[in-house]
Amino acid sequence: MGAIERIGAATIGRVRGLLYALGFMVDVFKQTFRFVTRRKVGSRVLTMQVLFTGVEALSVVATISLSLGAVIVIQGLSLLPQFGQGQLIFDVLIIVITRELGPLLTAVIVTARSGTAISTELGNMVISHEIEAYVVTGINPIRHIVAPRFIGVTLSTLLLNLYFNIFGLLGSFVVTQFVNPIPLGEYLNGMLASLSLTDVVSSVVKSIVFGAIIALIATYHGLQVERATTEIPVAAIRSVSHGITMLIIANAIITLVYYI
């Protein structure tokens, strides 16, 4: 096979893969809508997915959020007052925790924990012919396997992002008491004055988009496994690498739209 043929075959393969992924995404959206409107069997799967992705990741998210808030407060209170801009600490907190790093770090945590888990689980289901069994019995595997995971991951990412913000913004108050003690009312007033509805909406939109990206990429790569068990870790790795890349690109696009 010549070089031209190889390039042509690779391009055709890429295009077909892209079209397949787009078709998969459309099918997931369609089946998710049907799952929401006629939710019966998969509700337990959804609950367990939120439990695994959301509740079990809460401790990690809370720890990271508190640590990040503490670092921002300590660094900010040591630097900003030197320029007479001590009140900017709340703006920095909101920009970092609510607008930028909160949704992204939460999504990275969910990708690392749940993205790999979903890819591995679906890959194992393919290897053990469970997917074929669904298809043989006339059950749509997208609706009954992918849709609850899509909703669960998206919802969990959103909720974890909310917790991340709450822990990051309020938890930093605890750290502030060790560095520069101020009354809770004053802290809340300063923070709430700096926090705008646009920040909250931006954070919510980002977390929903990030959750959808994680779920789509994880389920897609999980279902890409064909027959060998050695494909499962490869799918998990691809799920994480592609997921984080897409998260950063999506974050840049949403931030750009937000500032425009």
Summarize as ranges the residues that interact with other proteins (CB under 8 A). Answer: 47-48, 50-51, 54-55, 58, 83-85, 155, 159, 162-163, 165-166, 188-189, 192-193, 195-197, 200
CA 171 from chain centre, in angstroms, equals 22
Give the DSSP H or E segment for 127: helix 116-127
Closer to other proteins at the Cβ: 210 or 220?
210
Which CB sits closer to other proteins, 7 or 51? 51
Query: Between residues 47 and 75, which has the closer beta carbon with respect to other proteins?
Result: 47
Q: Work out the number of other CB atoms within 10 angstroms of the CB of residue 36.
A: 11
Q: How far is the CB of 152 from other proteins (least distance, A)?
A: 9
d(CA 202, CA 196): 10
Angstrom distance (rounded) from CA 185 to CA 190: 8
In whole angstroms, how close is the CB of 167 to other proteins at the nearest point?
10
Rg (C-alpha) for the chain, rounded Å, is 22
Of 139 and 190, which CB lies nearer to other proteins in the complex structure? 190
Q: Which is nearer to other proteins, 163 or 220 (CB)?
A: 163
Enclosing H/E stretch for 108: helix 102-110
- Min dist CB 169 to other proteins, Å, is 8
Smallest separation, CB 225 to other proteins (Å): 26
In the complex, what is the shortest distance from the CB of residue 249 to other proteins, in angstroms, rounded to a whole number?
27
Query: What's the one-letter identity of residue 99?
Result: R
Angle at 115 between CA 165 and CA 22, to 5 degrees: 105
Written as six digits, the tokens of 197 are: 């509805």
